[in-house]
C-alpha cells in the first residue's frame, strides 16, 4: 500500500469546495499560503499570489482589514488562477463584503467578530455565494473577563468565549 494514499483514506473529514479546489476527505492535501502585501494594493497582491501559485500553492489567503481590502478581492480574483480566502478579524461585515466580492472562502473567529448572530449572517452569505467558511478559535480572542476567571486561555475558556 502506498503510504501517502493511506494518509488520505484515513482522514474522516467532509470534503469542502474552495473555488475549484476540494479540501478534506480523500482529496490530496492542499497547500495554502497567505500574502504579506496590503490587499488594497491590487497589483502587488496579484504578483504575490502568482508567485505563490508558481511555487505550488493551491489556495491563497489575503488579509481583509477594511472595506477597501474586501472590495479589492473582486479585481484580484479576476487576475489569478487560485481560490482566494479572506482573512477576517473583528468585523463580520468585512466577511460579507469579501464574499460579495468573490472570496471563495472566509476565515473567521466567532469570538472576535461579535458572536453567533454575526457568524450566522456570514454563513448565510457564504451559502448564497457557494463559498466555504473556516471557523477558527484561539486563545487570543478570549474576552478579558473570561480569561481572568480561568487564569489562561484554557480549552474551557475558549469554549465559553465562543458560546
Do the beta carbons of residue 40 and residue 14 sit within 8 Å? no
pTM of the model: 0.81
Q: Taking 50 as the threshold, does the pLDDT of residue 1 lie above it?
A: no
Q: How far is CA 11 from CA 25, 30, 78, 118, in A?
A: 6, 14, 33, 31
Does residue 18 lie in a domain region? no
Do the beta carbons of residue 159 and residue 142 sit within 8 Å? no
Secondary structure E strands in 9-147? 16-18, 21-23, 32-34, 59-64, 84-88, 105-108, 132-135
pLDDT band at residue 157 under the 50/70/90 scheme: confident
Containing structural domain, residue 117 = 31-162
Contacts (Cβ under 8 Å, ≥6 apart) of 66: 40, 94
Does residue 6 lie in a domain region? no
Does residue 99 lie in a domain region? yes
> What total of structural domains would you count in the chain?
1
Q: What is the CATH number of the domain that holds 124?
A: 3.20.20.20
Does residue 56 lie in a domain region? yes
Residue-wise pLDDT tens digits, 89-135:
889 999 999 999 999 999 998 777 877 788 899 999 999 999 999 98
Does residue 150 lie in a domain region? yes
Do the beta carbons of residue 102 and residue 71 sit within 8 Å? no
Does residue 119 lie in a domain region? yes
DSSP secondary-structure letter at 59? Answer: E
Q: Taking 80 as the threshold, does the pLDDT of residue 85 lie above it?
A: yes
Amino acid at each position: 500500500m502506498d503510504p501517502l494514499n493511506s494518509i488520505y483514506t484515513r482522514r474522516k473529514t467532509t470534503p469542502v469546495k474552495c473555488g475549484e479546489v476540494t479540501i478534506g476527505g480523500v482529496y490530496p492535501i492542499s497547500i495554502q499560503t497567505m500574502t504579506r502585501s496590503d490587499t488594497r494594493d491590487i497589483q502587488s497582491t496579484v504578483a504575490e499570489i502568482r508567485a505563490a501559485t508558481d511555487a505550488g500553492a493551491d489556495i491563497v489567503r489575503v488579509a481583509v482589514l477594511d472595506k477597501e481590502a474586501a472590495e479589492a478581492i473582486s479585481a484580484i480574483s479576476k487576475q489569478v488562477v487560485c481560490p482566494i480566502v479572506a482573512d477576517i478579524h473583528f468585523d463580520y461585515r468585512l466577511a460579507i463584503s469579501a464574499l460579495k466580492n468573490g472570496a471563495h472562502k472566509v476565515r473567521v473567529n466567532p469570538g472576535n467578530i461579535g458572536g453567533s448572530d454575526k457568524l450566522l449572517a456570514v454563513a448565510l452569505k457564504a451559502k448564497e455565494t457557494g463559498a466555504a467558511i473556516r471557523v477558527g478559535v484561539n486563545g487570543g480572542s478570549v474576552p478579558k473577563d473570561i480569561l481572568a476567571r480561568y487564569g489562561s486561555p484554557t480549552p474551557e475558556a475558549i469554549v465559553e468565549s465562543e458560546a
